[in-house]
Structure 1
Amino acid sequence: MHILLTGGTGLIGRALCQRWLSDGHQLTVLSRRPSAVASLCGRAVRGIEQFSEYGDEPLDAIVNLAGEPIADRPWSNKRKAQLWGSRITLTEQLVEWLERRDQLPRVLLSGSAVGWYGDGGERELTEEVPPVTDDFASQLCVAWEETAQRAEALGIRVVLVRTGLVLARDGGFLKRLLPPFRLGLGGPLGNGRQWMPWVHLEDQIALMDFLLRQEDARGPYNACSPQPVRNRDFARSLGRTLGRPAVMPAPAFVLRLLLGELAGLLLGGQRAVPSRLRAAGFTFAFTDLDTALGDLLKPKDV
């Protein structure tokens, strides 16, 4: 299968390349640094800088994951424009390129996030629930999904992957948490009651491969464990895994002072569940947080 990835040099993209190379697929990654693609994604992966460089080769599937990290700095107006352009503008360019192609892929897996729902409070969020609040993260995801869905008019099957917090050994938000937690300075954010929809990287890759191959899969899918946890329980679990106390809270007012609007992303949450994935027959390898963290942070890594 010929697969084109945007965002292929990111955490999820690199893991997908590793999986699909081992399965014998042909991979091309769109990147601002195409010369670095082979070293990051695999020697057999071709890097291109523009969609037009793909040429007339057959194309079976597109995985659209491109996007600047949403939580690495406060949301100034300039940063919001960067976040918007890296997702919505690039997806618009993708659809416009597809409109000019003679041969079209069968499927487009397009990135999204559980932030689509906004701060869901205590409400259980299946894929049928509309957005609960209208914050910037929700607006961003709604526009991202709507843009990708334009490809349906071309006869392409569009799957929207609403990813939760990805747990990985080498990267992602867990890597940022480890330094303070290892020092015994970790703890809940705010009151710690907010829900955290998490997913082990291994399950994230498996479910995306599953959705790629399921010919009847289309529309949104929550990509998160069937057992979301509250932030305070996540902190306790990570502390137990590292053998450190996790009782140092980060007060909400301090987070708001330091991060501004971005703090809402950390202090709010989503009790999202993968209703459609489970109905389709997908089985998660990791549904218990302690087990997932124990797998990623084995004694030699702690």
Structure 2
Amino acid sequence: MPAPDLNLLITLDALLAEGSVVGAAKRLRLSPSAMSRALTRLRETTGDPLLVRAGRGLAPTPRALALRGRVHDLVLEVEAVLRPDERLDLAGLVRTFTLRASDGFVESFGPGLLARVGREAPGVRLNFMQKPDKDSSPLRDGRVDLETGVIEESLGPEVRTQALFRDRLVGVVRDAHPLSTGKLTAARYADAQHVIVSRNGLESGAVDLPFLPSAPGRNVGAIVSGFSAALTLARESDLVATVPDRHTATLRQGMFSFTLPLPALEFTVSMLWHPRMDADAAHRWLRGCVREVLREQGAPSRNSAASQ
């Protein structure tokens, strides 16, 4: 059996990304006729038409859709292998990194990270992206360079992870809220009106549920999509917010925070990236910046049952 022509992978990646022979030809700096001949070879090799006429354009077949992600990853891996291992010139580095994280993470650690990056590599820009779900496909397809969060079982096995810090849930209310005085019991906590954070807008999708005892029985008065919004509502009302301690230290300034009066679980916050970025010197530098900024800022004190 003849060895496969690996150049066809690059051609197929361009065709599936562009959905057009002309567009793929421009991307690879080939003539449309050369790209058309390459598509013919791909069809013969795979035994599938891959792209078929649909109106004025081309539509991918089911086989093409199934191959698109795998082919793209293979091409990126090959590019990483063949990229020269040059010394990193931080002063001259011009690059944009996209980081996907919760609003609490950005509020607490974003300023320090920006300051560190600005000192070492002034040509680097950080693009912070909201994290509406746990889908790891943005890491795989290159839309996101680095992500932070709690690792779940549904995470794809190809994603690299590294633990950053341990965190816990705390309750937060406005200053002078009834829960800020007197003995705080599980019953008082549950009976108060709560604002919960849920990515799908449902009480059953509250992000803190995996770390709380089953059926905490809270009286839910509002549902929001992020910690910042939850704390804003709690600051201006009698709502109680339950949020990660270290993630929200900056957001909670001037409010009353308390240890939950029920057995909540601690959790580990990690950073995640695609393995194709392992050998990328600039990406390794960025990961080091994240680790060091978090270490420098340290963890909040946990010596008291309640702190303001």
Q: TM-score, normalised by structure 1?
A: 0.24
Greater per-residue strand proportion: 2
Larger radius of gyration: 2
Greater per-residue helix proportion: 1
Q: TM-score, normalised by structure 2?
A: 0.23
